[in-house]
Structure 1
């Protein structure tokens, strides 16, 4: 915690210096925010069908611009914990200050992590499907800690994050932190590449490698990623890998087509006949169309299929109508 305390002090000192140097008139201001994720779906598996309405997420927040450089936000994540159809649980997902000036940025508090933030932005459909790493818990989307980023030029930027490592739904109860380093490249205007590596040590060291390449134009965007986690959950030699390919095509001003393919696979330990995480290995197929009839509302009828590597498990197919409402 001493390391985070020092970084916090540095951040606030820099913020004060920045405020003292501000000469242009600035009017502080803030606003409330809200996002709602809901769906209706039917799932087909092994000759059985199940249908349901779901309210999967509600994000309630407030953000405030204190100065040109200093910004703060608080966001509550109200979601279904999976323990009861009528139960919802609230967590503080974000509660942070951000200082940004001249290509330099510091975030402190309950912040968004950086492992798959770029990938999630390129995928673009968080309201109906998390990115591969988020969906399969390669890391949490938010955590308590500090991140520092610097834009060296239009071509290259780098970032460092030191975080709790437990995610925003758990409190830190030890001195083990998760430290990550990222490098983002934009060699040409529409092309983005990123490499990220992090590690966290207990009896064994868990580390993660995340790579991404994406291309975006006014008409379409494409993304591909390869991810690997070594000693997953600090279990020696238990590695898990995943690839994800996705794309979007703008059919009309308010209509988009999208598709995605994920593949997860784990290694086989010495002396074992099957992969250690076989029950979670497999392929996911997603395809659909998104309509944005008015600002702040998105509707997406889509198909999702799961094909497990474990031959004893049935394949699963689902039809969804997803909705996002944003204020």
Structure 2
């Protein structure tokens, strides 16, 4: 991984050299003018009223590049920071010898380990069909995330509560029938890009439909079926629906509903809910936003307890973009559980910069 990071930094440095120097040393005819650097950083400072606790963290640190071979072929490599090792699925036995499958989502290792998050090769076959393979960007909540437009402030529903990874190992195909209707389908590892294929060869199959009747309205329906790496475990199934509406150039309103059956391949564990969000540009650089989430669970006796429980999330604040590529936000975020146990009320200052 250290070698990959050094290679990425070296490419950034070489891309700034004069073209004559490149021509004299570039034995592989690598065109550095076709390299596009990718840098995106999220930082957060927060104060928790309920716990009287201050925190500062980096939730994202992407560094990488994209290379355009020609009009049809391109490749992308992106590193991210974080505790890249997860415990994952484990099996435990009781005194009678009965086995239970447990999903352990805890992370191990350094908080600032760089790991390969995306490494994909894309082929634009024609104006309608695009194929991509490798460590790819999944197309599950990306439509909602882009419409929400404030990922540096908070994740969208599936990412925030169910922690579905944005990247995975596999293949995805996009087909655009026209400007109103398009579909996509993917077959992936199902474990995220940090985990190799399980010994049972189980995969995740996913598909989505986008219907955009006008420039003001966009909709999406998505489904995935993820088999478990532990034999005889229940298949996780996700169904989501989204509609976004932009009444004017200054405002947008989004709504999504998500239903998860056998969450984390736990038989009978269901979770579902919806998210409503709206944003309005007060000025060209300043945006006012609000959001409301409702999260519910249908808990079984086999549930291992690693869930948030029923509750509501409230968000609201301002997003300010002083220059292109930089965003700052002062906002409130609250988690209000139905049982009123451990509510979370926080004031946050978020930042994003990218180029």
| Interval containing the TM-score (normalised by the shorter chain) | 0.7 to 0.9
For residue 195 of structure 2, give the secondary structure of its aligned residue in structure 1: coil
Q: CA deviation at 1:44?
A: 1.3
How far has the Cα of 1:142 moved from its partner?
0.7
> Where in structure 2 are the equivalents of 1:225-236 lying within 5 Å?
225-236=256-267
Partner of 2:111: 87
- Alignment of 1:189 with 2:215, yes or no, is yes
Q: Which residue, 25, 44, 51 being the options, matches 2:49?
A: 44
Query: How far has the Cα of 1:127 moved from its partner?
Result: 1.3
Q: Which of residues 199, 210, 223 is equivalent to 2:225?
A: 199
Report if aligned partners of 2:187, 2:205 keep a CA contact under 8 Å in 1. Answer: yes
User: How many angstroms apart in 1 are the aligned matches of 2:107 and 2:176?
Assistant: 43
Q: Does 1:165 align with 2:190?
A: yes
Gaps spanning 5+ residues in structure 1: where? 1-25
User: Gaps spanning 5+ residues in structure 2: where?
Assistant: 1-30, 85-105
TM-score by length of 2: 0.78
The C-alpha deviation readout for 1:250-293, integer Å capped at 9, x for no partner, is 11111111111111101144x89x99877432111110101111
Give me the whole-angstrom Cα distance separating, in 2, the residues matched to 1:61 and 1:89. Answer: 15
Which has the higher mean CA deviation after the structures are superposed, 185-194 or 197-206? 197-206
Matched, 1:290 2:290: no
Equivalent residue number for residue 246 of structure 1: 277
The one of 66, 74, 90 aligned to 2:69: 66
- Contact 1:219–1:250, Cα closer than 8 Å, also in 2: yes
CA distance in 1: counterparts of 2:83 and 2:282, whole angstroms: 33
Q: Name the CA shift for 1:80/1:166 in 2 (closer, same or farther; >3 Å).
A: closer
User: C-alpha separation between the residues in 2 aligned to 1:84 and 1:252?
Assistant: 44
Change (3 A) 1:247 1:85: farther
Contact 2:82 2:110 in 1 (8 A): no
- Residue 142 (structure 2) aligned to one of 94, 114, 117: 117
Q: 1:236 to 1:84 in 2, by over 3 A?
A: closer
Is the CA contact 1:72–1:98 (under 8 Å) kept in the aligned structure 2? yes
Tell whether the 8 Å contact from 1:265 to 1:278 is kept in structure 2 after alignment: no
- Taking the aligned partners of 1:79 and 1:86, their CA distance within structure 2 comes to 7
How many Å apart are 1:242 and its aligned residue?
Answer: 1.9
The root-mean-square deviation of aligned C-alpha atoms, in Å, is 2.4
What's the secondary structure of 1:252's corresponding residue?
A: coil
Shift of 1:298: 0.7
CA distance 1:136–1:169, change in 2 (3 Å): farther
Question: What secondary structure is seen at the aligned counterpart in 1 of 2:150?
Answer: coil
CA deviation profile, 1:200-250 (whole Å, cap 9, x unmatched): 234222111011000124111111000011111222211110211111101
Separation in 2 of the partners of 1:103 and 1:231? 35
Contact kept in structure 2, 1:62 and 1:74, CA below 8 Å: yes
